[in-house]
């Protein structure tokens, strides 16, 4: 049985299976990736598996957003209180926030276009990839998973969907930041008070500048786990198809093209 590894014997590989997860190239819509970067800087790059860049932009967004009071200004704007929104904005931080925010959108779009080209070239090379990785701490392998289960687990707690499909880096990052957002927004305290019928108290304990981070966080976790489950399933089927051809298909086997009916 052949053992395939990404050993630089080809110019490009479609995927790599490691103990920390399965990283692969596949066609993506640049506008969707750019939209996720607009929803929350860093998400677009994380969808592309550009983790270091994605993590940096994500942390930048949280720090500068809170310091500049961007979320609070958005809340006042939604309420029609434009003057208050202008008053609380800290321009010292805001002027740093805008260029990086625009860069995140532009760079994720540009990177998606480039990676789509790389994928098409890797698809033509058809170099085989490793499908199993074992280490001291983890085991990872290509397998089919249920995309619906990825969504369900992500709805319970963002990051669990990523753990289900073995995207360890994204899962740990998403879970850690979910805990941070929960803690500073006091959302769980508000939920308990709401169940007790104390609506005013539940509203008063909430920190809206942190609360606004949570919907995007949930949305990203759901989308990322679903898309990667679907693409991992496609990769598994392709790898299995190649394995069966190499090891079980007769060398003389050919499929004849049928003639057109007149």
CA distance 29 to 201: 44
Per-residue pLDDT, 48: 95
Average pLDDT (66-78) is 91
Percentage of the chain beyond pLDDT 70 is 93
CA distance 146 to 252: 36
> What does pTM read for this prediction?
0.89
Q: Is the predicted pLDDT of residue 7 greater than 60, yes or no?
A: no
Place 1 in a pLDDT band, splitting at 50, 70 and 90.
Answer: very low
pLDDT digits (tens, 9 = 90+) for 212-247: 999 999 999 999 999 999 999 999 998 888 888 878
Q: Is the predicted pLDDT of residue 78 greater than 80, yes or no?
A: yes
The 3-state secondary structure of 123-192 reads HHHCCCCCCEEECCCCEEECCCCCHHHHHHHHHHCCCHHHHHCCCHHHHHHHHHHHHHHHHHHCHHHHHH
Q: Is the predicted pLDDT of residue 199 greater than 60, yes or no?
A: yes
Per-residue pLDDT, 2: 45
CB 23 within 8 A of CB 148: no
Question: Lowest-confidence range among 9-23, 167-181, 197-211?
Answer: 9-23
Percentage of the chain beyond pLDDT 90 is 68
Per-residue pLDDT, 30: 97
Q: Is the predicted pLDDT of residue 114 greater than 50, yes or no?
A: yes
> Token digits for 143?
């397998």
């Amino acid at each position: 049985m052949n053992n395939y590894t990404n050993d630089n014997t080809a110019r490009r590989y479609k995927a790599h299976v490691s103990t920390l997860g399965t990283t692969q190239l596949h066609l993506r819509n640049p506008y969707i990736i750019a939209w996720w970067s607009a929803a929350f800087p860093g998400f677009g790059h994380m969808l592309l598996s550009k983790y270091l860049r994605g993590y940096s932009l994500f942390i930048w967004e949280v720090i500068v957003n809170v310091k500049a009071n961007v979320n609070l200004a958005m809340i006042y704007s939604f309420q029609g209180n434009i003057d208050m929104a202008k008053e609380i904005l800290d321009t010292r931080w805001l002027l740093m926030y805008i260029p990086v925010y625009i860069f995140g959108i532009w760079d994720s779009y540009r990177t998606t276009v480039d990676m789509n080209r790389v994928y098409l070239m890797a698809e033509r090379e058809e170099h085989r990839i490793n499908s199993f990785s074992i280490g001291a701490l983890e085991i990872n392998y290509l397998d089919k998973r249920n995309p619906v289960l990825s969504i369900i687990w992500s709805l319970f707690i963002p990051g669990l969907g990523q753990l289900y499909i073995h995207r360890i880096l994204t899962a740990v990052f998403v879970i850690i930041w979910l805990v941070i957002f929960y803690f500073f927004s006091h959302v769980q305290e508000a939920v308990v008070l709401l169940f007790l019928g104390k609506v005013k108290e539940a509203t008063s304990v909430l920190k809206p500048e942190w609360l606004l981070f949570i919907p995007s966080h949930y949305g990203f976790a759901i989308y990322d786990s679903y898309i990667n489950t679907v693409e991992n399933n496609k990769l598994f089927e392709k790898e299995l198809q190649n394995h069966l051809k190499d090891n079980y298909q007769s060398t003389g086997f050919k499929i004849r093209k049928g003639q057109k009916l007149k």
